[in-house]
Structures are given as structure tokens and as C-alpha cells.
Amino acid sequence: MSGTPGGPASRATAARHVYRDRLVTLMAADPRVVCVDTDTGLFTGTDFGPAAGRYLDLGIAEHTAMAAAAAMARAGWVPFVNTMSTFASTRALESVKINIAYNELPVRIFATHGGVAAGHLGFTHFALEDLAVMRALPGMAVVVPADASATASVVEQSAAIGGPLYVRLGRKATAPLPEGTEPAVIGQVQRLREGEDTVIVCCGPHPVLAGLEAADLLASWGVGATVLNAHTLCPFDQATLLDCAATAALVVTVEEHRTTGGLGGLVAEVLAEFAPRRVLRIGLPDVLAPGVGPQEEILKRHGLHAEGIAARVRAALESQPLAWSAS
Amino acid sequence: MNATLTRADPGASSLREIADRLRGRIIDMCGGDEGGHLGGSLSVVDILSVLYFGVLRLDTQDAGHPDRDIFLLSKGHAALALYAVLAERGFLPAEELDSFGATGSRLAGHPMRAVPGVEMPTGSLGHGLALGLGFALAARLGGQPRRVFVLTGDGELQEGSCWEAAGCAAAQRSDALTAIVDANGLQLGGRVADLGAPGALADRWSAFGWSVRECDGHDQAALADALAGVPWQPGRPSVLIAHTQKGYGVGFIAGQVASHYATLSERQHGRARAALAAHIRRQS
């Protein structure tokens, strides 16, 4: 698993810090961009230069920050709101829904500590429903960059998005995607690896890296896996999924999220409607195993690591589809 | 300032006559199949009359004029009063008020942006102050002279988000923001005093760092005097606690909890209109 202490990822820059730096650059270039903070600490010591007046720390007030950002957007500004994923998606939800989404306003919500990135802080700081929640809002673009360079690119690409945008980031640095990976384009599924037997659709830094490693393991067992990075859940690139899934007996989803309503739900919906396939959703369960710990440890504990994914894919391929019985 | 941005000239009508007319239209709108929030609409009529015909700088030909003042009806259920005053001010044809609540009408029970002059949809309580703060911050960023007025209910202040925004506005020294509390003392299920936080409302706002004044919310001269001079203290948001009566102007429902929502039958509508006429006669 990536991001282990002393590993390559620890020398990299965390996506949230890359985002911060790119936002500062964007604020210098675009005088309409406003940084709305909620006492996250992400911008402590940041030099905004002449744009300093457009950094507004509204305090620990996420509901207020979302509404204020909506009003600012209505007045012609482009606010970037900063908070943690759990607060953006559930605490401030009504404000996001009514004030931002229903009004189709170009507010950019950059939410850190997605999934179990705050593993040591406990479950109040986990965000395991945010993708399902945000995906349900009308017009909301939902993006989970898989590495730091994709995060930087998303900040720049956001200018082309006319409505609201939710971007889920993590906390610590993670390894970059393999060299040669095509740049992440919002709205396009990335094809990372081709294989014939199964399609593994991943979302988020750890799931993508683990999915690629799992594909290596599966290959060593004679199973060919296509690996997709579905970094954009909304708008979703159905065409690429359907193309890749056309000949696969099994489509697997891997996400740092509960299996309800997020990537797994999305892929199941698309396949059920256009090309029914057997789907295996891998994610976090409703009830997590007790105990805090590093993000990687919590993911491993729940089978969200290469070995866990590969084993479940192989078992699914070797078994018959689950029979449903009313008895 | 752009010449088209003006405070309204009430013309031949006095503010009192305007308010009386608005009350009649609100009663009429409650005669539809679905009825409406009658009591809390009647209580804000004098506040809205003073705002739209003496305070707000608006352009009926260009509802989105960049330098206009902003009004937000945080207690969105008083939409009837807002529609009536928007029609009176020229944003809507008066005859459109007859469509309130009808299938396909843009005049919903809570205001939507499809209605000219409505800045943001409201109705879920506890959002207006934060929205107003955002407009005020945006105006400051842009160096605009815009002022922002938010009308809340006193029952609405039970929503915690109101106080989150109130604290934030004070911290931001947002003196372009003015809140007006329609303090009619009643909510759907009873007295605000029995269901909300105890103690004087003015003390609470003051403790949150706002500049506070109180007045009779049906005294148009007092309302105009207070609102014309905002901000009262540089660097502080202002709040005017307007003491009103729910159902004001319709004697047999005034001050009654049951006035909150009404679907008036033809007979009840006639009775309410007669009561309003009697109220108008008593004033003159």
C-alpha cells in the first residue's frame, strides 16, 4: 500500500497542499476567485500577495460558509470553499443543496480528509457517504483526483465548469499514478490497464493504487483485469465504462466509501440500465472494525488493499452468481 | 450611482395606503384552494412597505442591476407579502397575484428565483442571514455601496444556523448587513417565548456583536427612521427588532396562533376583508 512512512509517497506533496498552492496561483491570475475558509488551517502562513483580501476565514461555520459562497457566486465571484469532506457533505448539506446546487452556482467545494484519511481522529472525521450525497445533488460535478498532479489539474480545469463542483481530497501524500498515465480530464474515465477477464473500476488515490496492484496479482494467477480510474463520478463517462465492460464477465468497483450510492452504486446503476453484468462492489462496510489507526491500516483491515481485492475478485470469478431465494 | 437605481416614489399613495392594499391582496391570496401563511405575511407588511418604498435602491427595469440593494426574505413563508409588494413596486403585474399557488404558477408558497425581484429562493428557515452575509462580503470585495437587508422571523431564530451566521457577520465586521426581526411572538404551534431561548432578544443580538434597535413594527415612520440610517455603528451589522402582531389588520385573527396558515372560504374571505376595512377606517 502506498503512503507508508519512509516510502516514496512520504517525499511527495499531499494533494491538499498542491491544491492550496494552485489556488493561490489561480487567485493571482483570476480576480474573481475567492478563497472561503472554515478554520481548516490549510492556509496558515500562506502568502496570498495582492489577493490577500480575497481570503476569507469565516470560522467554524460550514453552513454559513456554503450559503455565503452561494451569494458571492450569485454576485459574480468564484468562491472556493474549504472544509473537511464530512462537514461539506453532511453537516452543511442543506446549505449546499438549497443555496448552491438548486441555484446551479459555480461554487467550488474542496473537501479534505475524504474517506478514512483522518484515521487517527476517529469516525466523526471520516467521510464515507460524501460521494453518494454529492452525487445525488442536481448539477453537482463530483471529482476525486487520484494523485497530486491530477489535483493540480482539477483546480485549473474547474474554470470550465459552469455549475457547482465537489472535489474530495485526502490528507497525506500518496504515490503518483504510474508514469505514462494520460492526464486526468474531468468527465473522462482513465484507462490504466487492459485485461480480458474483468474490469476493476476504482475511485480515489488508495483504491486506484490498490486496484493496479491487485491487477498484477491477478495476472500472476492468469486473470486479466482492465483497471479504470473513475475520478469523475459526475458527470460520469458511461461510454468508457460500457465499452470496457462489453466483454467482461464481472465488473468490480473499489472505493474508499461505503458501497451504497458512491462509485459502486453508480456503476451498478449504469450497467443495470444499459448492459446488465455481474457487479462486485468493494468498499467499506456499514459498521467499521473498531479501533483508530493510519488510513492504510484501516483500509487493509477491511480488505481494501491489493491482496484483499485480488482475492475477492478471484473468488467472485470462480463462483457462480449469488442465487437469490425468497425462502 | 446609476440614475436608474432609485428608491420608489410612493406617488399618490401614502405608505399607509400601500400597506393597506398589500394586506387586502394577501387576504385574497389566502382564498385560493391551498390557502397561505396569512398571519406572518400580515405582520411584515409595514416592514416591506417601508423597505420597498423608502429604503431599497432598486431598478424594476433591471432586477439584476449590479449596484442594487439586496433584500432577502429569510422567513420565506411570508411570500404572499413579498409578492404583493413586488407587484406594488412594479416587478410583477398585479393580476399575477391571482395565480398564487395555482398549478403552473411561479408564485409558490415560498419564493423562487423565477419571480422577478427575488434574489435567492428561501423557505427552509435559517439561511437568509448567511446568504445576506455573502452578498455583503461580495459587495465589500467589489467596493460596491450595496446594502443588504434580511427579514427573519422571531420563531426562525430557533434555527441554530441563524446564530452561526450572526456570529460570523459580526466577526467579519459586516456593516453592510442589516437584519430585521419580525417579532410577532408567535409561531405555528404556540408562543415563541415558550419554545425558543429565554431572555430578551435584544440582549442576544447585542451579545453577538450586533448593533441593536427596537421599534413598533407597524409604525412606518419609526421603521423608516431606523432603516434609513444603517449602519448605526461602523463595523457592526445592524438588527432592528420590529415588534409586530401576527395577523395585524384583521381583528378576529390578529394575535392568534391559528392565524399562521389559513385557507379562507368565500365567507371567511369576506369576513377578513370586512375586518381589514374596519381596521383601515379606524386608522383614518
> Which chain A residues are closer than 8 Å to B172 by Cβ?
56, 58
B130: closest CA of chain A, how far (Å): 5
Q: What is the pLDDT of residue A1?
A: 38
pLDDT tens, position by position, B107-123:
999 999 999 999 999 99
Domain extents in chain A? 9-168, 190-318
Say whether pLDDT at A319 is over 50. Answer: yes
Q: Confirm if A255 and A287 have CB atoms less than 8 A apart.
A: no
Say whether pLDDT at A321 is over 90. Answer: no
| Cell numbers that stand for A298 in this block | 484501516
Count of domains for chain B: 1
In one-letter notation, the amino acid at residue A297 is: E
Nearest to A168, CA basis, from A185, A149, A154: A154
Count chain A–chain B contacts defined by CB atoms under 8 A: 88
Q: What is the pLDDT of residue B5?
A: 78
| Cell numbers that stand for A300 in this block | 487493509
In one-letter notation, the amino acid at residue A204 is: G
Which positions ≥6 away from B52 have C-beta within 8 Å? B8, B58, B71, B85, B86, B88, B89
| Cell numbers that stand for A214 in this block | 491487485
Please report how the helices B15-29 and B79-89 are oriented relative to each other, as an axis angle in degrees rounded to 10: 130
Say whether pLDDT at A5 is over 50. Answer: no
Contact B131 A59 (CB under 8 A): no
| Cell numbers that stand for B37 in this block | 401563511
Task: Tell me the CA distances in angstroms from A180 to A73, A193, B231, one per residue in order.
Answer: 37, 11, 59
Domain around B214: 15-283
Does B29 map to a domain?
yes
Q: Confirm if A51 and A205 have CB atoms less than 8 A apart.
A: no
Q: What is the pLDDT of residue B8?
A: 74
Does B257 map to a domain?
yes
Q: What is the pLDDT of residue B33?
A: 87
Does B9 map to a domain?
no
pLDDT tens, position by position, A76-124:
999 999 999 999 999 999 999 999 999 999 999 999 999 999 998 999 9
The CATH number that domain A9-168 falls under is 3.40.50.970
Among chain A residues, CA nearest to B168: A58
> Which chain B residues are closer than 8 Å to A69 by Cβ?
134
Closest CB from B113, B138, B161 relative to A77:
B138
Residue A256 neighbours by CB distance under 10 Å: 31
Q: Confirm if B5 and B145 have CB atoms less than 8 A apart.
A: no
Averaged pLDDT for residues A275-282: 96
Burial class (CB in 10 A: 0-12, 13-18, 19+), A200: buried
Say whether pLDDT at A12 is over 80. Answer: no
Q: How confident is the model at residue B3 (pLDDT cuts 50, 70, 90)?
A: very low
Closest CB from B124, B138, B142 relative to A98:
B124
Closest CB from A53, A66, A103 relative to B141:
A53
Averaged pLDDT for residues A253-276: 97
Sole residue written with cell 450586533: B210
DSSP letter at B55? I
- What whole-number distance in Å separates Cα of residue A90 and Cα of residue A110? 14
> Which chain A residues are closer than 8 Å to B237 by Cβ?
none
Report helix, strand or coil for B205.
Answer: helix
Does B2 map to a domain?
no
Q: How confident is the model at residue B92 (pLDDT cuts 50, 70, 90)?
A: very high
Q: What is the pLDDT of residue B6?
A: 75
> Which chain B residues are closer than 8 Å to A31 by Cβ?
none
Q: How confident is the model at residue A2 (pLDDT cuts 50, 70, 90)?
A: very low
SS (H, E, C) chain A: CCCCCCCHHHHCCCHHHHHHHHHHHHHHHCCCEEEEECCCCCCCCCCCHHHHHHEEECCCCHHHHHHHHHHHHHCCCEEEEEEEHHHHHHHCHHHHHHHHHCCCCCCEEEEECCECCCCCCCHHHCECCHHHHHHCCCCCEEECCCCHHHHHHHHHHHHHCCCCEEEECCCCCCCCCCCCCCCCCCCCCEEEECCCCEEEEEECHHHHHHHHHHHHHHHHCCCCEEEEECCEEECCCHHHHHHHHCCCCEEEEEEEEECCCCHHHHHHHHHHHHCCCEEEEEEECCCCCCCCCCHHHHHHHCCCCHHHHHHHHHHHHHCCCCCCCCC
Among chain A residues, CA nearest to B133: A68
Does B218 map to a domain?
yes
Percent of chain B with pLDDT over 70: 97
Q: What is the pLDDT of residue B11?
A: 67
Averaged pLDDT for residues B51-59: 96
Say whether pLDDT at A324 is over 70. Answer: no
| Cell numbers that stand for A177 in this block | 499514478
| Cell numbers that stand for A250 in this block | 464481472
Say whether pLDDT at B1 is over 60. Answer: no
Q: What is the pLDDT of residue B32?
A: 87
Closest CB from A34, A64, A67 relative to B141:
A34
Which position has the higher pLDDT, B12 or B212? B212
pLDDT tens, position by position, B124-136:
999 999 999 999 9
Domain CATH for B163: 3.40.50.970
- What whole-number distance in Å separates Cα of residue B245 and Cα of residue B219? 12
Taken as a whole, chain A contains a residue count of: 327
> Which chain B residues are closer than 8 Å to A92 by Cβ?
none
Averaged pLDDT for residues A211-222: 98
| Cell numbers that stand for A27 in this block | 487567485
Does B209 map to a domain?
yes
Burial class (CB in 10 A: 0-12, 13-18, 19+), A327: exposed
> Which chain B residues are closer than 8 Å to A72 by Cβ?
134-135, 137-138, 141
The CATH number that domain A190-318 falls under is 3.40.50.920
Q: What is the pLDDT of residue A129?
A: 98
Q: What is the pLDDT of residue B186?
A: 97
Percent of chain A with pLDDT over 90: 91
Q: Hey, is the C-beta of A75 within 8 angstroms of any chain B C-beta? A: yes
Q: Confirm if A218 and A224 have CB atoms less than 8 A apart.
A: yes
> Which chain B residues are closer than 8 Å to A74 by Cβ?
119-120, 134-135
Q: What is the pLDDT of residue B180?
A: 99
- What whole-number distance in Å separates Cα of residue B220 and Cα of residue B243? 12
- What whole-number distance in Å separates Cα of residue A53 and Cα of residue A323? 61
Q: Hey, is the C-beta of A290 within 8 angstroms of any chain B C-beta? A: no
Q: How confident is the model at residue A126 (pLDDT cuts 50, 70, 90)?
A: very high
Q: Is the peptide bond before B234 cis (omega within 30 degrees of 0)?
A: no
pLDDT tens, position by position, A180-200:
999 999 999 999 999 999 999
DSSP letter at B86? H
DSSP letter at B10? -
Say whether pLDDT at A303 is over 80. Answer: yes
Q: What is the pLDDT of residue B239?
A: 98
Domains A9-168 and A190-318 share a fold: yes
Mutate to test the interface with B, among A63, A66, A83, A87 (most CBs of B within 10 A): A63
Q: Hey, is the C-beta of A67 within 8 angstroms of any chain B C-beta? A: yes
> Which chain A residues are closer than 8 Å to B121 by Cβ?
98, 102-103
- What whole-number distance in Å separates Cα of residue B47 and Cα of residue B227? 10
Contact B130 A67 (CB under 8 A): yes
| Cell numbers that stand for B194 in this block | 415558550
Closest CB from A53, A77, A99 relative to B131:
A99
Residue B178 neighbours by CB distance under 10 Å: 28
Say whether pLDDT at B40 is over 70. Answer: yes
Does B223 map to a domain?
yes
Say whether pLDDT at A322 is over 70. Answer: no
Contact B165 A69 (CB under 8 A): no
Could you give phi then psi for residue B132, rounded to 5 degrees? -60, -40
Closest CB from B120, B132, B161 relative to A63:
B161
